[in-house]
Structure 1
Amino acid sequence: MSRVLVGVKRVVDYAVKVRVKPDKTGVVTEGVKHSMNPFDEIAVEEAIKLKEKKIASEIIAVSVGPTQSQEVIRTALAMGADRGVHVEVSGKDYDLLQPIHVSKILAKLALDEKADLIIVGKQAIDDDSNQTAQMTAAVLDWPQGTFCNKVEKTDAGLNITREIDGGLETIKTKIPAVLSADLRLNTPRYATLPNIMKAKKKPLKKVTPKDLGVDTTPRIEVVSVEEPPVRQAGALVPDVDALVGKLKEGGHI
């Protein structure tokens, strides 16, 4: 295996309380802390582990988004990726960018860069789509290993342990392949200060979807973004009979 392509997305930081815009067109992102999608950090870490084991020779971090997306590419480079590709999409086009568009972009880059493996996070914590890995595999007609809990290189390809409802599933797949990282695949390393400084000198190429021949025309229209309903306060009942009575009345306690 020579090259690994890793997708990294810039999202509102997981510790930030997300607020809906007054006009309900989306969530407030201006002046809000952003960071790399946590599942993508796990994807980057797995790629670095493959390189440390001499299984991979080069790691390319890719992010699709506005200029600020270069921040998460630099983070991936500081963690250990070798070079970055920023596919610039901004404004309204970015607001309505979907996994289908990102999948086509990743697929084209994988072919251009002659990558053997694509690793992405299982989902992004902003839109929770969980579609990019699957669609990328479909576009390329490559095998896929989603929700990876463990990845092992074999002579024939890869052995992948997947997290499924109620247990773990082990599959074998050939290379090239597309993987998506689950929570327990690994613990991402922190970027050290010397590596953050080195990352500034690593190559970062900027392209557009048009350069790659990918049409990012929106396929959806966001009608409204709403806050989740406020949960009603609980109430104490003296005994089981009172509880049953309350449930019969309205179903809420």
Structure 2
Amino acid sequence: MKDTSMPELRAMCFADLNNAVKIIQAHDEDDGEAAEADYRDAGFDNQYVLEVDGNIVGVTGYRDVPGTDQCHWLSWTYLQQSSQGQGLGKGMLLELIEKLRSENARKIFVKVSDYEDPELGKIYQQALQVYQGVGFKEEVVSNDFYDEGENQIILGLYLRDDEDQLEEDPAVSEEKPIIRFDGLFEIAETDGAYTFSWIVKETKKLFGKRNFSVGDLQVGLESVKNEGGRKVFLTFPSNLPLIHSPLQTAGFKYVGQLQNYYEHGVHEYHFTHDLNDL
């Protein structure tokens, strides 16, 4: 039964932008800057604010993941510092989760930093505990993701009580497309962490390379190192068997997987390469 004493979320609009960004900036200036850019670029669909007495005290929302079966990422979720300790953060998340379930969403993920401020301690620890309190489970930890000594924790939450909860994977056919890298870029909100963008080319039976090679990976790694990067992080669907040999030979290490990310039985594999090892 819904707690009628809790304020309800309402859809965010452009007029809310400044107030929403101020709430985020009060926690972290870099997050506030990144959030404003994201709102302006991706828009306000599925973004919400929490109001108390006509004043915005919280923001939350989600972004759809293209190419997946009803999978989403939790977007900027922050509560005004003076409003903490009243159950509003947990209530805000629970209402958002109910919205997703009403739309038959399958799973949602959230990224959290384990950054520890010398004076304030682990500034995201409270948020992590709130996520875990509503049912999120840790799935992947990428060491030194945001910066040296600052790791990224990814948690997932199933939104349906169905076969996604089963431990055994269904039979999923493997795919062998031609994968080509088409660029590299520094990952947002990180210092020196890069990734490669990639595309799937049309399969040709008689001509062309079947897949990216160790040489392709080495060229990318050297390019990142020349740009001052320190680590490369890559992700791929779990049903691509041809990726493993070149990644392993080039020195990439398996980090973990986001369970049932693309669809039930197709996970997202995470890999990393420390450029100090080159």
Between Structure 1 and Structure 2, the one with more strand by share is: 2
Could you tell me the TM-score, scaled by structure 1's length?
0.28
* Structure ranking higher on relative contact order (CA contacts 8 Å, 6+ apart): 1
